[in-house]
A and B are shown apart, each in its own frame.
Chain A
Amino acid sequence: MSIYQQLFLRDLKVSMKRWSDLLTGIIMFILVAFIFPLIAGSDQDFMHRIIGPVILLSSLLASLISMQNIFKPDLINGTLEQLVISAHSLNGLIFIKILSYWVSSSLPLVVISSLIASAYYVTGTDIVNIMLTVLLATTTLVNINSLAAALTLGVRYPGALMTLILFPLSLPILIFGSKAIEYSILGLDISGPFYFLTGMMLLSFSLGPIATAFAIRISID
């Protein structure tokens, strides 16, 4: 088994052990999506209009609240340092870390978004489109989150800083993600936004780990 496979499996096992950390993000996702109909009205047209933004906003907030769990635990127990000084390419190792973080934190969100979509009176292929949007958007979000987490690794109370870094960088994803969902519900051609989301996913997964690895090296020294 190559080092990358080992790291991937190890990260998955570790995040399963820390399932309560995973749950924070998932619960945040559900709660935000839940709150909107309760406080903003729940007629079908309105729900169809807001589901795009709500899903994207929930993903953003869920990722924000669990951002510290990407690197902080490994920093504290020394694993991150071992990765940095190891002979293997840090870019590759960080790529695997981000990938496994995505699998453990965002894959459940993809499944849950289908339930939320049907709670918002969405039917048929629209639900599949919503799941696909969440899949694509969270991949990019996870990379941006990793970058923000890596940049603020040495900071003691990084709360405001994380939000400030995350928000401008994630704006295009939020805009195009909600547009994708909106187009799907309106019955328009969804290929435009989806191509953009896919493009952002590829861009962020190729450049993200490099930038994140660089930032980790800075923070760890």
Chain B
Amino acid sequence: MNLKQIYKYGSPPNYFRLSLKAENWFLIPGIVLIIIGAFGGLFIAPPDYQMGDAFRIIYFHVPSAYLSMSAYAYMAGAALVGIVWRSNVAFSVAKSIAPFGASLTFLALVTGMLWGQPMWGTAWVWDARLTSQFILLLLYLGYVLLHLSIKEQRKADLAASVLALTGVINLPIIHYSVVWWNTLHQASTISKLSSPSITGDMLWPLLVMIFGYGFFFWGVICRVVASEILKREKRSKWAKQYIKELV
């Protein structure tokens, strides 16, 4: 395996072209999978014995929650690469992931509340998952806000990346400590959403949705990363070249 083939994508013009080329390879499967998964989840999967039709919210809730956490991991990974290798490409990726990641966290919280109201009778409960999702939203927002507040781009990149990394260290601590705290005072009445004892007919739309969300996410990120790279390098020769090629 020729490493040079990989290293060349560390340079902005190559990564730019790569993400534009890859965009539709992610978007189209993503959209198809989401349509299939949503249809399967909303219409084909049988209604749950205990929860009736409301459990269908799971098909929107679980993928967004799962993706919001893995997106943060990707963001922190890109931030680390950016700091260690001082890579503009990596910083662009990290910066691009943040807004979509934040909106996925928001989605997870909202669909969770829509689940909670009919199921538990209350839209909010102070349990580990809900609070750590909310913390995740704050971490994303802090990252975005820090980027917006610091005018000089290099400084903003580095500072926000430090923030992203300290957030990662924090995430398992928060989840863990809140679980410990809650199990002392409240009996855990929350049903585990990722229960393995879920029948095949209900399971496959969930898996399809998870993959669909992931593909669509990366498709959109490709476009956003491309914008970010172009924005940073608008004075460069390759940008001029690219514009000429378009016309």
Question: Real complex partners, A and B?
Answer: yes
Contact with B138, one of A164, A176, A179 (Cβ below 8 angstroms): A164
- Name the interface residues of B104-131: CB closer than 8 Å to any CB of A: none
- The answer to whether A152 and B142 touch (CB under 8 A), given A169-B166, A169-B170, is no
Once bound together, how far apart are the Cα atoms of A218 and B159, in whole Å?
A: 7
Whether B181 sits at the interface, judged by CB under 8 Å, is yes
Whether B177 sits at the interface, judged by CB under 8 Å, is yes
Contact in complex: A219, B146 (CB < 8 Å) = no
Contact in complex: A219, B159 (CB < 8 Å) = yes
Residues of A within 8 A of B155 (CB): 154, 218-219, 221
Contact in complex: A211, B174 (CB < 8 Å) = no
Binds B, one of A20-28, A56-64, A114-122, A155-163: A155-163
Contact in complex: B170, A161 (CB < 8 Å) = no
Contact in complex: A161, B146 (CB < 8 Å) = yes
- The answer to whether A218 and B181 touch (CB under 8 A), given A168-B135, A168-B170, A172-B173, is no
Contact in complex: B177, A176 (CB < 8 Å) = yes
Residues of A within 8 A of B178 (CB): 171, 175
Contact in complex: A175, B177 (CB < 8 Å) = yes
Contact in complex: A155, B163 (CB < 8 Å) = no
Contact with A218, one of B139, B149, B158, B170 (Cβ below 8 angstroms): B158
Whether B145 sits at the interface, judged by CB under 8 Å, is yes
Once bound together, how far apart are the Cα atoms of A71 and B82, in whole Å?
A: 26
Whether B30 sits at the interface, judged by CB under 8 Å, is no
Residues of B within 8 A of A196 (CB): 177
Once bound together, how far apart are the Cα atoms of A164 and B149, in whole Å?
A: 13
Whether A215 sits at the interface, judged by CB under 8 Å, is yes
Whether A195 sits at the interface, judged by CB under 8 Å, is no
Interface residues on A, range: 20 to 34
Contact in complex: B149, A158 (CB < 8 Å) = yes
Residues of A within 8 A of B177 (CB): 171-172, 175-176, 196
- Name the interface residues of B135-164: CB closer than 8 Å to any CB of A: 135, 138-139, 141-142, 145-146, 149-152, 155, 158-159, 162-163
Distance in Å: Cβ of B140 to nearest Cβ of chain A: 10
Whether B167 sits at the interface, judged by CB under 8 Å, is yes
- The answer to whether A218 and B142 touch (CB under 8 A), given A154-B150, A158-B149, A175-B178, is no
Once bound together, how far apart are the Cα atoms of A154 and B147, in whole Å?
A: 12
Contact in complex: B158, A160 (CB < 8 Å) = no
Q: How many residues of B contact A (CB 8 A)?
A: 25
Residues of B within 8 A of A218 (CB): 155, 158-159, 162
Once bound together, how far apart are the Cα atoms of A211 and B168, in whole Å?
A: 14
Contact with B142, one of A155, A164, A171, A179 (Cβ below 8 angstroms): A164
Once bound together, how far apart are the Cα atoms of A167 and B139, in whole Å?
A: 9
Contact with A151, one of B141, B159, B170, B174 (Cβ below 8 angstroms): B159
Distance in Å: Cβ of B98 to nearest Cβ of chain A: 13
- Name the interface residues of A120-155: CB closer than 8 Å to any CB of B: 147, 151-152, 154-155
Which chain A residue shows the least CB distance to B155?
A: A218
Distance in Å: Cβ of B199 to nearest Cβ of chain A: 38
Binary CB contact string for chain B from 197 to 211 against chain A (1 if under 8 A, 0 otherwise): 000000000000000
Once bound together, how far apart are the Cα atoms of A167 and B135, in whole Å?
A: 9
Binary CB contact string for chain B from 176 to 217 against chain A (1 if under 8 A, 0 otherwise): 011001001000000000000000000000000000000000
Contact in complex: A160, B145 (CB < 8 Å) = yes
Contact in complex: B162, A215 (CB < 8 Å) = yes
Residues of A within 8 A of B170 (CB): 168-169, 171-172
Q: List 7 A-B contacts (CB under 8 A).
A: A151-B146, A151-B162, A158-B149, A161-B142, A165-B142, A168-B138, A172-B173
Instruction: Please report A residues at the B interface, Cβ cutoff 8 Å.
Output: 147, 151-152, 154-156, 158, 160-161, 164-165, 167-169, 171-172, 175-176, 179, 196, 211, 214-215, 218-219, 221
Q: What are the 3 closest A-B residue pairs judged by CB atoms, nearest first?
A: A164-B142, A218-B158, A155-B149
